[in-house]
Amino acid sequence: MFGSTVLEVAMGMIVCFGSIALIASSVQEAFASMLRWRAKTLFTGVTDLLNGQSLVLDIYNHALVNPRSDGKATTLAEIPSKYAPSYIEPANFAQALVDSLQKGQVTFTALRPVIAAITDVQLRTCLLGMYDRAAGDVNRFEAAIAGWFDSAMDRISGAYKRKSQFWTFVFALAIAVGFNVDAHQIMATLWVLTVNGHVPATVVVAPTTVQGALSSLDQLPIGWHRLSSLQTQLLQSAVLWAVPGWVVTATAALFGAPFWFGLLGKVADLRGVGTKPAEENPNPGKS
């Protein structure tokens, strides 16, 4: 059993899920790049970190944080989204924040009154604590700010990942519906074909491009043409029964193409394992 039907069907399902995941993630990345989701998510995170203080504008005008801008923006709305950075090095953020507090007029040792004048209580308390613990050492102060920023970026990365997964699911579901990639129907059809000896060509080498993923899907029993001959009432019932299969396909795409194609390689190796032949003695005269 495990030498034929189960593994053949498993490989077909893995190719299906991996191909959908590759296509959906590629579409999601294209939209993310076009709409600059990373830069916008980072900007929102920095704004939340500094509680909307004017320091956000000073930091985004700073060349260490935003080297592509002219540094002349007077409001946050003036910062073009196409120039906003998608990533900020924690050390650069720390130096930019210290420079924004000093404004080229206050020495580091005289910076405490400037921090104490920040109107937001939470931000003021946080920065004062780090400043006092630095004990007059600017490097320690910047290191503390960098660590604070880095921990905040972990939460921002989590928020971006959740957003990416949501849209990957949306795109995967749209692909599943558009191509009628019903996981349940595909599995049942592959099982019947394998049992009857009509095994479709199975892709063992994982596709690395969207075109390759589409070619892999062509070898599977998908598409609306299989339902074109049904009467209207039967077609409606078939579509209704296909909804759970579409959801399963879209959900499986969230695991990502690397997961599925890595699993494909393991299953292919398992299928190829057979009885190991006995080694021949190259020297029959010696025991």
Query: 49 or 278: which carries more pLDDT confidence?
Result: 49
Q: How far apart are CA 143 and CA 149, in angstroms?
A: 10
Q: pLDDT tens digit string along 43-67?
A: 999 999 998 888 999 999 999 999 8
pLDDT at site 198:
62
Average pLDDT across the chain, whole number: 84
Name the phi and psi angles at 128, rounded to 5: -65, -40
Residue 22 has pLDDT above 80, yes or no: yes
pLDDT at site 2:
46
How far is residue 154 CA from its own chain's centroid? 14
Instruction: Classify each residue of 135-146 as buried b or exposed e, where b means 16 or more C-beta atoms within 10 Å of its C-beta.
Output: eeebeebbbbbb
**Stretch 225-236: mean pLDDT, rounded?**
58
The contacts found for 267-272 with CB under 8 angstroms, 24 or more apart, are 267/7, 267/10, 267/11, 267/14, 268/11, 268/204, 270/2, 270/7, 271/3, 271/7, 271/8, 271/11
Percent of the chain residues topping a pLDDT of 90: 43
pLDDT at site 145:
96
- Structural contact between residues 207 and 216, judged by C-beta atoms closer than 8 angstroms: yes
Quick one: which of 278, 244, 276, 203 has its CA closest to 18?
Answer: 203
pLDDT at site 280:
54
Q: pLDDT tens digit string along 70-96?
A: 888 888 888 877 778 989 999 999 999
**Stretch 215-241: mean pLDDT, rounded?**
68
Where does residue 223 fall: left (phi above 0), alpha (psi -120 to 50 degrees), or beta otherwise? left
Helices (H) and strands (E) in the chain, counts: 11, 0
**Stretch 151-166: mean pLDDT, rounded?**
91
Q: How far apart are CA 261 and CA 21, in angstroms?
A: 10
Q: How far apart are CA 32 and CA 51, in angstroms?
A: 26
Name the phi and psi angles at 139, rounded to 5: -65, -40
Per the structure block, which two tokens stand in for 255?
Answer: 């695991």
**Stretch 11-24: mean pLDDT, rounded?**
91
State the pLDDT confidence band at 101, using cuts at 50, 70 and 90. very high
Quick one: which of 7, 33, 18, 57 has its CA closest to 214?
Answer: 18
